[in-house]
Chains A and B, each alone.
Chain A
Amino acid sequence: MNDDATTKSGESKAMDSRGCASFLKLGLRSRILLWHGALLACVLAAFGWTAHRLHWESEVMRLDRELDEPLSVLHRTLHAQGLREGNVPGPRSPPPESFELPDALKERFEARQLDFSIWVRDGRLLTSSLSGEKVPKRPETKDVVPFVIQRRNAESRREAFLTTPPGECFLVSLSMEEELAATRSFGWWLMALGSAVLSVGLFVGAWILKRAIQPVEDIVTAAERISRGDLSTRVDGSTDNTELGRLTKVLNQTFASLDKAFAHQARFSADVAHELRTPVSVLIAEAQSALEKKRTSVEYEETISIVLRSARRMNALIESLLELAQIEANSQSCLTPCDLSVLAEDAIENLRGMTAANDLVVRKALISAPCQANAAQIGQVLTNLILNAIQHNERGGYVAVETGVREGRAFARIENTGPGIPEESVPQVFERFYRADSSRSRKTGGVGLGLAICKAVADAHDASLTVESTANVVVFTLEMKA
């Protein structure tokens, strides 16, 4: 038995917790709506009950007022009858032997549908407008204070009675049928009104909630699409200063940067794959054709040197791509005070051999240009730009390097002679793997990332890197932020 009981209580507990869980599982909207509905129903019920009660009480009070006067009339009339029968006047004089209501009073009572009963001090019913079983019970008068009107409900009648000190008891009563019916219909009416208000309240509440929750739904939809891989999705809806507006704004920003990061990653992988394909093709084709039959040692040597060249190119490519990825990953890393003129001087010094080999004149106009920068990266930029100026130059041409401060901003300007960049290609020179003349850069061993790296570094420093080109002069300008 005991076991059964505990099992049962355990089960019911489990049921409770399940009920709770299923309530929690309901959507936010349904839960709020449920609370809202329950609260509204409670308030309406309380109001309705109070109104109903007040209405009933006022009806009863009206009835009571109607009963008061006939009760005292009845008392006075009986007293007068007693006097007429020769009883001693005074409050304790005995009641008359019999009593008949005067006709005028009777008519009045009947017109008002009043019933009355009188009992004398020994408990005998003296008279009553009702007969037989309909005669009300004599009220208990033991502890009742004389001459104070008492009231009670008897079935569907309201009764008022008073006693005299010797023990006579007068009772008048009125039917409450009408009042009861009216109160009942008032109750129904209240219930109908309450239900109407409740349903309107729920409907309006649901509508407001729907509108309030809509941005959340939008966010969920957008997030679902993003989780399925559609990264270009954004949350529709206002980005005003409400809580959800701000959330929308933040989420959209997050999605955008996520999208950008993914696109960047995808482009990086695509670039790597694409640029590695050519050297790998060379490796495979060269090795495969070399292995097909016996070759002379000269041919083998040639094959091996081509293989080596391809491998070096792949290596250079990998290094450059990693460098680029690093720059883009941690921009704003360790800025130190440095001077563009010093960095430019170093770069020129490092490339002295190449300028001499290409029969180029270097013109320097290096004025101190202090700035906050990652010295190693900016040094790399200047080296790349000067290298670019050397590689795209012509025999007997020049490379002019100028540094200084202009409008509070440190700048470096690298100018070179050589075939200009075609106008339509100018916007593309900073793109990865862009080559104005592909076969030529291949011969110089570039992988098409030098200027892209420069641009990435400049962007990381909030600096501007621009290019101008005329028919035979190309100028790159690096301007640091103020």
Chain B
Amino acid sequence: MRLLIVEDEPDLLRALVRALREDGYAVDTAEDGEDAKFKALECDYDAIVLDWMLPLMSGLDVLKAVRAKKQTPVLMLTAKTAVNHRIEGLITGADDYLAKPFDINELRARLRALIRRSGGQAKDEIIIGDVVVDTWRKTVSLSGEAVVLTAREYALVEYLALRRGKMVSRSELYEHLFDENEDSLSNLLDVRVSLVRKKLGAEFIITRRGQGYCIP
């Protein structure tokens, strides 16, 4: 899952990035409105956390620009707490609104809900045969027994599980599982897929040459 966090306060940005990276998200950042708009339109993020008051361009204008072209889930995270601001933000196209100061676990839960919804899921548990993926606790179990996955392996499983039955291309996986700072060495993904197959069974993820990967 790849996120864009737009926040002009460096300390807050740092804390958010640290917390969300530890959750296994690939995280990109933007500190002003122009940068945020560019990145949001350039990449297909799974969700965007957007501040309202930003240098160069306000968060609301960024949101308008994004909504003109994309459906990316957007969570407004702002010090503007008045009801009319919330309403304005939601009307403009935000999917959720969280006022500062906030609890970081609430932010996590809301982000998770946004991503789950945008993948068409209403529950945190995805059941694929013997495998159960718990997207809130970020755990996977096989026949009732917990399987230990690294954060990155889990992210791959979750991404494919949310799009079960769909063919997901390698480039899409690269775009959603790696952030802007990571070198997208082409075999990194293959290594990760094979590790997951070892833990959850060879048939858990199928490969179609030239098309990508899929959880059937």
Hey, which bits of chain A sit against chain B, CB under 8 A? 273-274, 277-278, 280-286, 288-289, 292-293, 306, 309-310, 437-440, 442-443
Of the residues A281, A292, A309, contact of B100 by C-beta under 8 Å: A281
Contacts of A274 in B (CB 8 A): 79-80
Interface contacts beyond A274-B79, A278-B9: sample of 17 additional A-B pairs, CB < 8 Å, sorted by A? A277-B99, A277-B100, A278-B79, A280-B100, A281-B9, A281-B12, A281-B79, A282-B11, A285-B12, A288-B104, A306-B14, A310-B11, A438-B54, A438-B55, A439-B32, A439-B55, A442-B9
Segment among B15-23, B118-126, B172-180, B196-204 that sits at the interface with chain A: B15-23
Hey, which bits of chain B sit against chain A, CB under 8 A? 8-12, 14-16, 18-19, 22, 31-32, 53-55, 79-81, 99-105
Given A281-B101, A285-B104, A289-B104, residue A439 in contact with residue B19 (CB < 8 A): no
**Nearest CB on B from A450, distance (A):** 18
Of the residues B12, B80, B99, contact of A282 by C-beta under 8 Å: B12
Contacts of A288 in B (CB 8 A): 19, 103-105
Which residue, A273, A289, A292, A437, has most C-beta atoms of chain B within 10 A? A289
**Nearest CB on A from B34, distance (A):** 12
Instruction: Considering the complex, give the chain B residue whose CB is closest to the CB of A277.
Output: B79
Instruction: Considering the complex, give the chain A residue whose CB is closest to the CB of B78.
Output: A277
The A/B interface has a contact count, at CB < 8 Å, of: 72
**Bound Cα distance A439, B14 (Å):** 14
**Nearest CB on B from A273, distance (A):** 8
Contacts of B55 in A (CB 8 A): 437-440
Closest 7 CB pairs of A and B: A277-B79, A285-B15, A289-B19, A281-B100, A281-B101, A280-B101, A286-B15
Grouping DSSP codes into helix (H, G, I), strand (E, B) and loop, the A interface class, with mixed when no group exceeds half, is helix
**Bound Cα distance A288, B101 (Å):** 12
**Bound Cα distance A274, B100 (Å):** 9
Which residue, A280, A281, A282, A292, has most C-beta atoms of chain B within 10 A? A281
B100 touches A278 (CB 8 A): yes
Contacts of B11 in A (CB 8 A): 282, 286, 306, 309-310
**Bound Cα distance A158, B83 (Å):** 96
B101 touches A277 (CB 8 A): yes
A438 touches B8 (CB 8 A): yes
**Nearest CB on A from B29, distance (A):** 12
**Bound Cα distance A289, B17 (Å):** 10
Which residue, A282, A283, A292, A437, has most C-beta atoms of chain B within 10 A? A282
**Bound Cα distance A281, B8 (Å):** 13
